[in-house]
Amino acid sequence: MNVLITGGAGFIGSHVADHLLVMGCRVHVLDNFHSNYSREQKLLNIRSSLNHSAYHLHEGDIRDATALANLFRQYPFDVVIHLAALPGVQASLQHPDAYTDVNINGTRTLLHTMHQFGVRKLIFGSSSSVYGDSPAMPLQENSQQLFPISPYALTKYKGEQLCRHYSQQYGIDITCLRFFTAYGPRQRPDMAIYQFLEAIRQQRPLSIYGKGTSRDYTFVADIVQGISKAMLRVNGFAIYNIGSGCCISLRQLITTMERVTNQKALIIQKPDRPGDVAHTWADLTQSKQKLDYQPTTSLSDGLQQMADWLSSRSTYANLSFVG
Ligand SMILES: NC(=O)c1ccc[n+]([C@@H]2O[C@H](COP(=O)([O-])OP(=O)(O)OC[C@H]3O[C@@H](n4cnc5c(N)ncnc54)[C@H](O)[C@@H]3O)[C@@H](O)[C@H]2O)c1
């Protein structure tokens, strides 16, 4: 199977690529190495795959229709996993136009190219943020109460609508997966878990915004499981939650990090930030039934793996500095 992963040098995409190579797929990654974080980290993400004979890296932009057409002309893709995006709520408040351009226009360009070249299957990386501050918990895919409260969330909501349109009008089979806060090795450095763990490990103060918030935190291997199972079952148009099914308070998260690192957190409490929702919690009934999705990694195991990854990176950085 020939798979195109857009955004495949990023956090989630690089894990998906690793997994699909093990499954025996031919993997093509399209990524423009956007400067949302360092090119070096993205190159490290794909370092192990780069030498694999079934792995092909294409540096390019999903908004570039000509480059996309050339790529699709050259390779007969069976399925596209669309993860390229500008992610993150807070940066979207600073750069709403850039988010609209990449996440909406880029998605439209990709869908149009798929239609032109007759590629029939797509998995779209959507987000729990589309629910916004929905009052109904746990969050269900068929909820009519979607209240996106950030430019990022709006772009993901619009991306789902574009997918629905292309599926209904042009018969492309599309599954949108709403990921709930992914974490694990290779996580983006702007994300809270990365910043909290680094602060605790280095005994620096960490800022916590808002009181009483809670999240459904999903280990990246479970996200990958959801994507690969959806990829094998994509049919018609569907939307599924991909989460852990657990709702963890900020206090519980920090306590678990303290246990895993064996260090105390130095907390600075700050007020709520605009754009951040108060609570997320995935209802997994549909994804379990229809995708056979089953998250398996507990928060403490996942945080342990992430802390080990952060330690190995600093050891590596220290060694290369000394060397
Ligand atoms: N990480 C999470 O918790 C989370 C939660 C919900 C949804 N998502 C979605 O999952 C996807 C992957 O997220 P991630 O955390 O791995 O982010 P990431 O930033 O690590 O990966 C995204 C990749 O897309 C690439 N990219 C950006 N603009 C591009 C463009 N115009 N053309 C080609 N490539 C481009 C980036 O260089 C990056 O490598 C995104 O669509 C994100 O919105 C992530």
For 189-221, what is each residue's pLDDT tens digit?
A: 999 999 999 999 999 999 888 777 899 999 999
Residue 232 lies in a domain: yes
What local confidence, expressed as pLDDT, does residue 317 receive? 55
- Look at the block and give the residue holding tokens 């994804």: 287
Residue 206 lies in a domain: no
Write the residue with the smallest CA distance to atom 31 of ligand 1.
61
Q: Which of 220, 174, 241 is nearest to 18 (CA)?
A: 220
The pLDDT of 154-182, averaged and rounded, is 98
pLDDT of residue 321 exceeding 50: no
Contact assessment for residue 239 and residue 176, using Cβ atoms and an 8 Å cutoff: yes
Confidence of residue 136 (pLDDT cuts 50, 70, 90): confident
Residue 255 lies in a domain: no
Number of domains in the chain: 1
Domain span holding position 44:
2-186+219-245+281-296
For 114-132, what is each residue's pLDDT tens digit?
A: 999 999 999 999 999 999 9
For 84-95, what is each residue's pLDDT tens digit?
A: 999 999 999 999
The binding-site residues of ligand 1, defined as CB within 6 angstroms of any ligand atom, are 6-7, 9-13, 30-34, 36, 42, 61-63, 83-87, 102, 106, 125, 127, 179, 181-182, 188
Pocket test for ligand 1, best of 6, 29, 36, 244 (most atoms within 8 A of CB): 36
What is the residue-averaged pLDDT of the chain?
Answer: 94
Write the residue with the smallest CA distance to atom 12 of ligand 1.
83
Confidence of residue 316 (pLDDT cuts 50, 70, 90): low
Which is it for strands 218-219 and 266-270: parallel, antiparallel or unpaired? unpaired
Residue 271 lies in a domain: no
Residue 95 lies in a domain: yes
What local confidence, expressed as pLDDT, does residue 323 receive? 31
Residue 76 lies in a domain: yes
Confidence of residue 319 (pLDDT cuts 50, 70, 90): very low
Range name among 129-138, 159-168, 253-262 with the lowest pLDDT average = 129-138
Residue 226 lies in a domain: yes
Contact assessment for residue 25 and residue 2, using Cβ atoms and an 8 Å cutoff: yes
For 27-54, what is each residue's pLDDT tens digit?
A: 999 999 999 999 999 999 999 999 999 9
Q: The CATH number of the domain where 171 resides is what?
A: 3.40.50.720
Taking the alpha carbons of 91, 187, 303, 198 in that order, is the dihedral positive or negative? negative
Q: How far is the CA of 125 from the centre of ligand 1 (A)?
A: 8
Percent of the chain with pLDDT over 90: 88
Residue 66 lies in a domain: yes
The DSSP element (H or E) to which 179 belongs, if any, is: strand 173-179
